[in-house]
Amino acid sequence: MTAHPLDVARIKSDFPILNQESSSQAAGAVAAGSAQQISGDRGRLVFLDNASSTQKPKFVIDAMVDCMQRYYANVHRGIYSFSEASTERYESARKTVAKFINAPQTESVIFTAGCTAAVNTIAHTWGEANIKSGDLILATEMEHHANLVPWFQLAKRVGAKTQLVRVTDEGLLDIEHFQQCLELKPKLFAVTAVSNVLGTINPIERLTEMAHRAGAVVVVDAAQAIPHQAVDVQALGADFLVFSGHKVLGPTGIGVLYGKLDLLESSPPFLGGGGMISRVWNDGFQAAELPAKFEAGTPPIIEAIGLEAALQYVQNIGLENIAAHERRLVQEAHRLLDGMEGLKVFGPGPEQKAGIFSFTLAGIHAHDIAYLMDKYGVAVRAGHHCTMPLHKRFGIAASTRASFYVYNDEEDVRWLASSIESLKSKFRRRKS
């Protein structure tokens, strides 16, 4: 399918938060620095922290408000009209998610409190039932802490071992080392589809096939993939796949856990309470069928409705169009910033990465960069981005990350580059 250019101006108009002047008044800040390096009077927020969380279109906001104003009630229990309407919309959201990731059964889609909660659910259910003392859990050096810490905790609880697959200097997964690790017969392999720092797009289908041949169950963290590229769980062969709503234009407080039906059915429930039971006796209980088995208590009803709206919005734009658009932006970022004196870019070239551009600047701490960039109206991320092992691998404590999405354009990239140059000039003047 041919990708089509995005009408970024129209898309940006759908996001109320982006149609306001930035609190830092970028134009004024630039005038006080090196205004000649930045063309135009933006004065608007240039939001480049999308790998952390995305902004919300009015379409999503309206869907959630509509629920709260017109038909909100708890789901699956009431036999009155509000409850039936809420239940219908909640389960409609599940069907939309299942179709979005090409899940073979709707029942294999579980709503959780977030991506982190989804990984922890796998660790406490399938993990505790199947990982035993002495077993090996394999992950990678580029994992987000959410796809590391739950496995470390599980290993400590049951006496298992953990090992991380190395990352090359270019920011790619070391396939040779991965093969060596697989010879140790790991029980589980946890891997990110897209690195939240390097932007690396991992060959999940190939990695899954290799892991399966070694007898490992594969957990895919798709938090950075779902918003930006088509994800087909059947094509990937993933045993489990997780993602969050807030990174794909949806609300916080909701995540998705997909699992193969046989794995979910054979796993014990995690949280106990209302909704996840079929029957309760004086001395025990019988768990409900999927997906209720893993959705104890009142679920994220409004959030699920918001997530459905977000996925519909993304589908309307087209994932192929989004991927192509972000590739152009990251190519422009590399063109403008690769080779800049004192600037080091992390991760592979733009042909092997998503719309993420992480860097360090000699002599300036990442936190100072992010703070000063805000004065230019540019919102970027600074720190270890919940990937301390990865930063240790590259010998740094922190980096600055710019990450792009549908409402960013080439002008935003140029503004980023010019702001960095202005920031460097300011630091040079301070030292002289």
Q: With contact defined as beta carbons under 8 Å apart, do 402 and 416 qualify?
A: yes
Q: Are 155 and 137 in contact (CB under 8 A)?
A: yes
Give Cβ neighbours of residue 65 (< 8 Å, ≥ 6 apart): none
Q: What are phi and psi for residue 286, nearest 5 degrees?
A: -120, 125
* Helix pair 319-337, 410-431: axis angle to 10 deg: 30
| Structure tokens belonging to residue 305 | 């409705």
**Percentage helix, strand, coil, to 5, in the chain?**
45, 15, 35
The residue annotated as part of the active site, out of 67, 115, 181, 386, is: 386
- Cα–Cα distance measured from residue 324 to residue 331, given in angstroms and rounded to the nearest whole number: 11
Beta pairing, strands 188-192 & 161-165: unpaired
Structure tokens at 363: 């002599």
Closest CA to 292 of 38, 90, 124, 84: 90
Judged on CB neighbours under 10 Å (0-12, 13-18, 19+), 149 is middle
115 is catalytic: no
Peptide bond into 104 cis (omega under 30): no
The phi, psi pair for 424, rounded to 5°, reads: -60, -45
Backbone angles phi, psi at 21, to 5 degrees: -70, 145
Can you give the length of the chain in residues?
Answer: 432
Distance set, CA 226 to CA 118, 242, 248, 350 (Å): 15, 9, 7, 18
How far apart CA 254 and CA 235 sit, in angstroms, is 25
**What's phi and psi for 303, nearest 5 deg?**
-65, -40
Active-site amino acid positions? 386
